Structure 1
Amino acid sequence: MVFVISLIVIMIFVLWGLFAPEHLGAFTNEALSFATNRFGWFYLIAALIILVYTLYLAFSKYANITLGDEDDEPEYSNMSWFAMLFSAGMGIGLVFWGVAEPISHYMVPPEGDPMTVEAARTALRYSFFHWGLHPWGIYTLVSLGLAYFMFRKGYKGLISWTFHPLLGDKVNGPIGKTIDILAVIATAFGVATSLGLGAMQINGGLSHVFGLPNTTTMQIIIIVIVSIMFLGSTMSGLDKGMKLLSNTNLIIAIGLLIIILLIGPTSFIFDTFTTTLGSYFQNIIQMSLRMTPFTEDSWVASWTLFYWAWWIAWAPFVGSFIARVSKGRTIKEFVLGTLLLPSGFSFIWFATFGSTALHLDMFQGKPIVEAVKADLTSALFITLESLPGGIILAVIAIILIVTFFITSADSATFVLGMMSTDGNPNPNKKVKFAWGVFTALIAAVLLMSGGLSSLQSASIMTALPFTFVLLGMVMSLNRALKAEDRERRLLEKQKRKQLEKLLRANQP
């Protein structure tokens, strides 16, 4: 039922985009305006609630609960685990926005005058904000809920079954199926957004380095070629394909990061990282709840709300995947690992690439700002070209984007297959193949109907109903943890009474 209905909805969308791309673009823009104007505040408050709750769990009385049986050990090493959750959770987006976002905020800051020293500081602070604790709080909630109910309670690996404490057996009925359908559709659109961004970035790199045309047609050709590659990886299975690709991604990403740190303005990068980290934590509450009702500025909708919706749309996919590879870890280890490690890497990434681009533009006269104005996808490559060995670095960046593309799509087909086949932990290859084809088709029709703006609009549109699901998951998980704690205390009380009875019986 979930598979068929989800596929029908997505097929209607794909056909709409193929036969009436302009009409689809207009619709997604209208949906974007509705979601941001009416529910912008809701996205912000929901994301903050989720982050606070996940942090609370790491230091609560539930912190030492194991995601599985008490004697279960983690299946993957810490390095492989981190590589897989990082590749699934951020991937293409980091490479796409690493230079483009700080420079965009520098040109059009959320507040204050553009192209100033203060604008540069604000640009990096908001880049940290958009890629830091909030998105990983959203991912942590979903993955923790799934892992807890799958491995601790023995439930199915479906979003609907995380609501068992609230719904009981109704998770098998229409309410539960509706939750799963929403999760599948949100996942499909969230992943398609990333694939579209990846295709745009690959095209931008190939255009800049090799002179290929930077057009929608070329981007669709790239989606087709890379889709064939990731479908091959999908057929090889999770342990073989994903583990190898995830470790490769992490090695290439860290290698590129270290090279830029060494040949770029190293001291400047470390200085900006330090001051931006302090500013981020100092202003995190204010940024978390920042709306502009008096000026009606669209900056928050274009950036913060887009990101929050994108993370929410990605949450069932990333959450399902991280849960699948996290059996045997305690809640504290899981929460701190999924919150702090990827957030820290994102901070270092933006400090390195964003600071380098700002330094090149502000102090060396390189046309980075002009590059972003002309073509967002070329910003990274023009930045790399301004450094020693720039062409080689650009080629490495293209390879990194391609491997991230494959990894994201590979893990997405696995998760979509699992969610649409009643939680089957090993969905068959035909189902995974079908989802691989349809996510690629969604990305293609979104590019045809408006490029980046349509990608952003689709994410925000599909994430709105799923935000309510996430808040319900907070209540459900909390109820389940409270019930387990009551059972534990009751068991301890019974054991204590039995021990006291035994001691009294043995007294002379």
Structure 2
Amino acid sequence: MEKATKVFWISVVIAIVFVLWGVLLPNQLTSVMDVTLGFFLQNFGWFYQLSATFFLIFALFLIFSRYGKIKLGKDEDKPEFSRPTWFAMLFSAGMGIGLLFFGVSEPISHFANPPLGEAGTSAAATQALRYTYLHWGFHAWAIYATIALGLAYFKFRKGYPGLLSATLYPILGEKTKGPIGGVIDVVAVFATIFGVAASLGLGAAQINGGLSYVTGIPNTFGIQLLIIAIITVLFLISAGTGIKRGIKYLSNTNMILAVLLFFGVLFLGPTVFLLELFTTTLGSYIQNLPAMGLRLAPFNADNAAWIQGWTIFYWAWWIAWAPFVGTFIARVSRGRTVREFVVAVLFIPTIVCALWFAVFGGTGIHLEYNLGIPISEQTLETALFLVFQQLPLSALLIIITLFLITVFFITSADSATFVLGMQTTTGSLEPPNIIKYVWGILLAASAAILMYTGGLAGLQTAIIVSAFPLTFVLIAMAFSMVKSLNAEMGPKKQKERKKETVMKERPNPT
């Protein structure tokens, strides 16, 4: 534990206090979380909307800016991982369990309970996918791209510690090494804990829901706790192997299984309908993106509740996940240029997520709209499995799905222990196993407590609250990055770089 910092010890103590609070006084914790959730949703929805839009504008600015050719590392650095492996790692950490949990359930929920207009119509179907793309598309990946780029740039090019506080050095200077920096890093740690714990809770709920739907095993907290315990042992074993073995191999396995499942549903379902639906809804999403991304409902309480429960929740979730996903993406992105990095992180995952929801959600909508099968009456955990039962090879699809959820679960938790280890060991690229094990156990305990005290509502509360202070840090990081990039691209620096290029290209006189 010699590498552990004060941030580690402070964060561990606070995390243990939270877990004990949930064990000893669960009703009080639930009450506090409910009041806190209501306060943030009613008073700061506008703040989350504007912040998410800011990150998207910032990411687009970076793509077309003069900073695009700057490398995330030294000028001679080469990427550590191939592009396919890089993409696989990015998806496994960035969306993973959520794509399976919400693949059918979110579009069909919007179809049955739309943000605007009449439910169950063709217009509601288009709108359902359009809003699903909004929640999983450009805004989400812009948040990830912003923090990941900042961490990678300051770590690999500037040689700063791989900590959130270090990215604010151009603004705060030496204060990042004192109490202010410590507070920033503790905020990042807790956003990571609650953001990842929410995903682990969703994963356990869906594994239990799937097993219950298929085999009749009870869908109870006790079973979910057992699932979390088993998966915890597996991801702790994986965490001990390091990023170049466990996470790398699991991420590639995830990608292969996800591709098989995607094409299985596409070709076993109404293929032409799904491809036409994807094309139509993608165009509608792009056309309506600014209005949807800034939409609130100050004159309509019902619409406001929908936006708070879905859109605002998602912005907070992506922000809470940002230190985890950002740190992990930064770690595997050394040697990429700014433009290559932002284009890849922003556009490719958005298109893939849109395809995923069009195929899975579109199949659910097709079954209900055209065949009258009540997909929308299922719970969030079981809607996917009812869809599979209407397709050929349903047993195989369900087996692949349950295995894929499990592997995503392990990968996300494994990646999270690595990131938390980095954040609490001065940015070490190889945090000690003992520190990763401590965080793995606390992650599992936090997920269990949140599920026990409030279920999905408890997870939602933890995410929205932890994301609030972190949003200010991420906005400051964007300005800090621009300040540092400006200094690097100043006239003097450009002249020096041009001189170095001429010297390298000059023929050797001997």
TM-score by length of 1: 0.96
CA deviations over 1:51-96 (Å, ceiling 9, x no partner): 1111111111000001111111101000000000110000000000
Q: Distance in 1 between matches of 2:206 and 2:407?
A: 13
SS in structure 2 at match of 1:298: helix
Aligned AA (1:188): I
Supply the distance in 2 between the matched residues of 1:216 and 1:122 (Cα, whole angstroms): 34
User: Which of the residues 427, 436, 439 maps onto 1:435?
Assistant: 439
User: CA 1:493/1:205 → structure 2, altered by over 3 Å: closer, same or farther?
Assistant: closer
> Residues 163 and 476 of structure 1 are in contact (CA less than 8 Å); yes or no, is this contact kept in structure 2?
yes
Which residue matches 1:506?
none
**2:147 counterpart residue number:** 142
User: Equivalents in 2 of 1:334, 1:384: separation in Å?
Assistant: 36
- 1:155 match: 160
Structure 1 gaps of 5+ residues are 499-508
Query: Residue 321 of structure 1 aligns with which residue?
Result: 328
The answer as to whether partners of 2:67 and 2:489 remain within 8 angstroms in 1 is: yes
Please give the alpha-carbon distance, in whole angstroms, between the structure 1 residues aligned to 2:209 and 2:153: 42
| Superposition deviation, residue 491 in structure 1 | 2.6
Deviation string, structure 1 residues 6-31 (Cα, Å, up to 9, x no partner): 11111111111111222212211211
Aligned residue among 99, 104, 108 for 1:103:
108
Give the whole-Å Cα distance in 2 for the aligned partners of 1:398 and 1:480: 45
Is the alpha carbon distance of 1:260 and 1:494 closer, same or farther for their aligned partners in structure 2, counting shifts above 3 Å? closer
Cα shift at 1:108: 1.1
292, 312, 329: which one aligns with 2:319? 312
User: Which of 291, 299, 308 lines up with 1:294 in the alignment?
Assistant: 299
Residue 116 in 1 paired to residue 118 in 2?
A: no
* Paired positions, count: 495
Q: Partner residue of 1:340?
A: 347
Q: Is the 8 A contact 2:108 2:376 kept in 1?
A: yes
What is the match of residue 263 of structure 2?
258
Who is 2:508 aligned against? none
1:402 maps to 2:409: no
1:369 matched to 2:373? The reply is no
1:484 pairs with 2:488: yes
Question: In percent, how many aligned pairs have the same letter?
Answer: 52
Matched residue type, 1:388: P
**More displaced 10-residue stretch of structure 1: 337-346 or 21-30:** 21-30
Structure 1 residue 488: Cα displacement: 2.1
Shift of 1:489: 2.8
8 Å Cα contact 2:105/2:376 also seen in 1? no
CA change 1:70–1:495 in 2 (3 A) is closer
Q: Distance in 2 between matches of 1:115 and 1:392?
A: 30
2:299 partner amino acid: F
Aligned equivalent of 1:172: 177
3-state DSSP of counterpart to 1:451:
helix
Letter in 1 for 2:345: T
Partners of 2:255 and 2:158 in 1: CA distance: 33
- In structure 1, C-alpha distance between the alignment counterparts of 2:81 and 2:187, rounded to whole Å: 30
Distance 1:318 1:495 in 2: 35
- Between the aligned partners of 2:463 and 2:96, the Cα distance in structure 1 is 17
Structure 1 residue 121: deviation in Å? Answer: 1.1
Query: Residues 497 and 133 of structure 1: is their aligned pair in 2 closer, same or farther, counting only changes over 3 Å?
Result: closer
Query: SS of the counterpart of 1:424?
Result: coil
Partners of 2:166 and 2:181 within 8 A in 1? yes
1:83/1:250 contact within 8 Å kept = yes
Quote the Cα distance in structure 1 between the aligned partners of 2:322 and 2:373: 38
Aligned-partner Cα distance in 2 for 1:243–1:188:
22
1:346-495, aligned counterparts within 5 Å? 346-371=353-378, 375-486=379-490, 487-491=492-496
Counterpart AA for 1:105 = H
CA drift at 1:145: 0.2
8 Å contact kept, 2:145–2:342? yes
Tell me whether 1:27 sits opposite 2:68 in the alignment: no
**What's the secondary structure of 2:454's corresponding residue?**
coil
- 1:205-257 C-alpha deviation (Å, 9 max, x unpaired): 11011111001111111100111111110011110000100000000001000
Secondary structure of 2:430's counterpart equals coil
Give the conservation status (yes or no) of the 8 Å contact 1:223–1:444: yes
CA distance in 2, matches of 1:493, 1:201: 56
Matches of 2:15 and 2:36, distance apart in 1? 17
- Take 1:492 and 1:244, find their aligned partners in 2: how far apart are those partners? 39
Measured against aligned partners, the alpha-carbon deviations of 1:329-383 in whole angstroms (never above 9, x if no partner) come to: 0001000111111111101100000000000111112221222xxx220100011
Residues 192, 442 of structure 1: 8 Å contact kept: yes
The equivalent residue for 1:196 is: 201
Please say if residues 366 and 386 of structure 1, whose CA atoms lie closer than 8 Å, have aligned partners that are also in contact: no
Q: CA–CA distance in 2 between the matches of 1:121 and 1:186?
A: 33
- Provide closer, same or farther for how the CA distance between residues 493 and 421 of structure 1 changes in structure 2, counting only shifts above 3 A: closer
Q: Which residue of 2 aligns with 1:14?
A: 19
1:127 equivalenced with 2:132 (yes/no): yes
Per the normalisation by structure 2, the TM-score is: 0.95
Q: Secondary structure of the residue that 2:381 maps to in structure 1?
A: helix
Secondary structure at the aligned position of 2:208 is classed as helix
User: For residue 505 of structure 1, what is the aligned residue in structure 2?
Assistant: none
- 1:187 corresponds to 2:192: yes
Tell me the secondary structure at the aligned position of residue 391 of structure 2.
coil
Secondary structure of 2:266's match? Answer: helix
AA in 2 matched with 1:291: L
